[in-house]
Structures are given as C-alpha cells and as structure tokens.
Amino acid sequence: MEIPAGERSLCVRELWKNGMGWDLARITPFISQKTKRQLMSVVLDNITGSIDRMSWSEQSDGSFTVKSAYAMLTRNELPRQNMEKIFDRIWRVIAPERVRVFFWLVVQQAVMTNSERHRRHLCESSLCQVCNSGEETILHVLRDCPAMSGVWQRLVPPGRIHQFFVASLLEWAYGNLKNSEEQGDNEWATMFVMAAWWGWKWRCGDVFGMTGRWRDRVRFIKDLTKEVLAAHRSVKGSCNGPVREERMIAWSPPAEGWTKLNTDGASRGNPGLATAGGVLRDGEGAWRGGFALNIGICSAPLAELWGVYYGLYIAWERGYRRVELEVDSEIVVGFLTTGISPSHPLSFLVRLCHGFISRDWIVRIAHVYREANRLADGLANYAFTLPLGFHLFNSRLDALNSIVLEDAIGSARLRNIPV
C-alpha cells in the first residue's frame, strides 16, 4: 500500500506514544505481519533518559574491533568455493598439528612450487626438476609426479585409484580427508595426510639435496600412520575431558520473608518468534502472580530480558520488597550483575531493568539451571498460544498446575553438570 504524501516525512518518535507503545493503527496498513512482529519487540526508550550514540553494526555487541573492520573491508560477496567444510575436515584429521597446518596451506594453494615461482617471475621454468616432465603444481608435487604416484599406487585401495588421480586439488583433498573408510587398521584420512606431508618433505629434500636412500616409502608411511593413531588413542585414553557429575536439580523456595521471581524467555529461531514468562512464588511455592508475554520477533537474549523486565515490574507493583530473581541464562545474569556496554544493542533494556533494580527494595539475582526454572519456561512456551502482548495471571494456570505442585514439593530432575 502506498504511503500517503503527508506521512512520508514522519519521524519514528511521532509513531510512538509514551506509555502506550507504537501507534499501530497508523503503522500496520503499510507493513507486513512479520515486520509488525519485529516492531513489537522494540521500544523507544524515553524513560531512562539515555541519549543516541554511535554503535558498530559489524559486532553483535555494538563495540568496534579491528578484526570485524578488516572482515568488513575484505568481504567478498561474489560466489566462491565454500571452504568451511574442507577446513572442518582438515582440523578433524588425526595427525600432528604441523601436518594439519601444512594441509590447510595446501588447500589454500599457499605452498610454493615452481609453477607458482614461475608465475611470479622468480624462476625460468615451471617444470618439475625431479621428473622434468610436467609443470610443478601442488598436485604434481603431492600426487602426480612419478616420485609420489608410485607410492600412492600402492597405498590407495584399487577401486579408488582412478578417481584419486583425476580429482582436482580441492576434490582430492576433500574426498580423501573423510575419516570413515578404513584400510586395515589405519584410518585412511590419517594415512593420506601423512603421505602427502612426507611427499612434500621428500620433495624439499630432493630439491635441496638432503634426501638419502629410502628403502621402502610405502612401508614407512604405513608404520608412521599406525604410530600416529596409537599415540592419539593413548592420549585420548589418559584424559577423559572435564569431570562431570549427575546432580538432582530442583526449584528452591525463597528464604523467609522473601519472594521468588523466576523468569524465562523462549524463541523459535534466533532471531525468531519469541516469548517470555515469569512467576512470583512464596516460601510454600504458592503462586503470587505470573505473566506470559508474546513478544513478536526478536533475539533470544532480548526475550530473556523482557522476561526479567516484566517480572520485576509485577513484583514491584504487587509491593514485594525482598525479591530473589532467578534466570537460567548466564548471559542475562552477567548483563544484570556486571553491566553492559552502552553501545550494545540490548543496553536499552538492561538499563530499564537496572532502573527497576535500583529502586528502594532488595533484588538478589542468581543463575539457576533450566530444571529449577520450569514454571517460567512453561509460561514462556504457553505465551506462543496467546495474542501478541502482555498477559497477567493472578492465579495459577491449569495448564501448568503439575509444575507448580512438583516445585512446591521439591521434585528434582537429573542434570549432568561439569564440576
């Protein structure tokens, strides 16, 4: 729908009513349903008196870094080979780090060969000095030169020989780095990179005149591969990663004279359709007020913060002055307890929450595991079934009765946590 001439020069603030929110009657005829949902998660902050400031859009927290500026300047939107998958395979291969780094250079074609030297006018000929019969490209050195092809002929399983020698450099690397096919007790990917790495070392030795006589290169590669895999297994066997332990996690009632506030956010996608919920309970676990909020479309941390904001809001309105706030997002607890950079896109909402927290009451903030925050989670999920906006529940919801009762009797759930 065409925007009428008189409306075109409107500022955003002219479409916002303090205390009421967006003037949707004037906005919705011109925007899609999706834009409306995104808009619903945004507020114009005129309460905290904050001012406009510069924010760096290349970083999610709005702060400037040289790294992100470099990434922006060198960004290339043209379609090109997606290297992510191939790098991923390289870093997963069981091999010494220097071998993996070498292979990473190989697929970036950053290994110096005569072909490359010749292109840069650094030498007279691009020919291979070892066989004098082909251009010395990376593939020639590592695969096609008779010095290496003989080794490969005996290492590669017969059924795959043809494909092995016709693949392009990236196909060749990607196909052989797959770590699933086994040959004897050696994993092929490990043997493949070890052979390529030694192919390069032998080549350097030939060129610089340091290679002695090798009795059996094929035997050597096979033994080396066994050694690498055995070393890997013994290292893996001796350290089992961080120690974890199963623990029973339950909602805990507030201390005497305190009220517990649990809040949570939920989002389907990040950003995606998002909701929040929260509930106030007393020492017996009895419902003292709750809410569900259908936000629209926003990011997961934003949904969490909306939950905190409205939770604090109803706690304050109901006159509770000692509140234990529990959230299951460590990021959000960090924002609330240690603060947030003013250039962070979420800083407006963190500031709104701080505005509440600094009132004349006591709010303790703690991180809890999801298992101790099930009722708030239930409310947030329930909000997906509700119309956009805020919904207050003075008494407990039938749909969530079982969680209320389980929490009240201290029912716990198992959780595997690092200790």
The answer to whether 386 and 266 have CB atoms below 8 angstroms apart is no
Please identify, using beta-carbon distances, which residue of 128 and 276 lies nearer to Zn ion.
128
Mark residue 19 as left, alpha or beta (left: phi above 0; alpha: psi -120 to 50; beta: remaining).
left
CA–CA distance, 416 with 88 (Å, rounded to integer): 28
Give the nearer residue to Zn ion in terms of CB position, either 147 or 388. Answer: 147
Interface ranges with Zn ion (CB under 5 A): 128, 130-131, 145
| Closer CB to Zn ion, 128 or 327, in the complex | 128
Q: Which is nearer to Zn ion, 145 or 380 (CB)?
A: 145
Burial 297-311 (b: 16+ CB within 10 A, else e): bbbbbbbbbbbbbbb
Let me know how long the chain is: 419
The residue with tokens 């290349």 is: 58
- Minimum Å gap between C-beta 197 and Zn ion is 18
Q: Please answer whether residues 394 and 289 qualify as being in contact, where contact means their C-beta atoms are separated by less than 8 angstroms.
A: yes
- Residue whose tokens read 């040289």: 66
Q: Which residue lies nearer to Zn ion by CB, 94 or 128?
A: 128
Q: How far is CA 110 from CA 2, 76, 169, 244, 313, in A?
A: 54, 19, 12, 42, 59
Tokens coding 156: 């590669």
- Work out how close the CB of 128 gets to Zn ion at its nearest, in angstroms, rounded to a whole number: 3
Distance, CA of 186 to CA of 201 (rounded, Å) = 21
Eight-state DSSP code of residue 142: I
Nearer of residues 131 and 397 to Zn ion, judged by Cβ: 131
| Shortest Å, Cβ 161 to Zn ion | 19
Whole-number Å distance between alpha carbons of 142 and 202: 10
Which is nearer to Zn ion, 40 or 139 (by Cβ)?
139
As a whole number of angstroms, the distance between CA 254 and CA 88 comes to 47
Question: Rounded to whole angstroms, how far apart are CA atoms 316 and 320?
Answer: 6
d(CA 366, CA 377): 16
Q: Six-digit token pair at 387?
A: 């119309």
> Cβ distance 273 to 37 under 8 Å?
yes
Peptide bond into 254 cis (omega under 30): no
Give whichever of 143 and 260 is closer to Zn ion, judged by the CB atom: 143
Longest dimension (CA), the chain: 89
User: Which CB, 145 or 191, lies closer to Zn ion?
Assistant: 145
Rounded CA-CA distance 57/77 in Å is 18
Closer CB to Zn ion, 128 or 292, in the complex: 128
- DSSP 3-state assignment of 246? strand
The pair of structure tokens assigned to 89 is: 């395979």
Question: C-beta of 133: minimal distance to Zn ion in Å?
Answer: 6
Shortest Cβ 113–Zn ion spacing (Å): 10
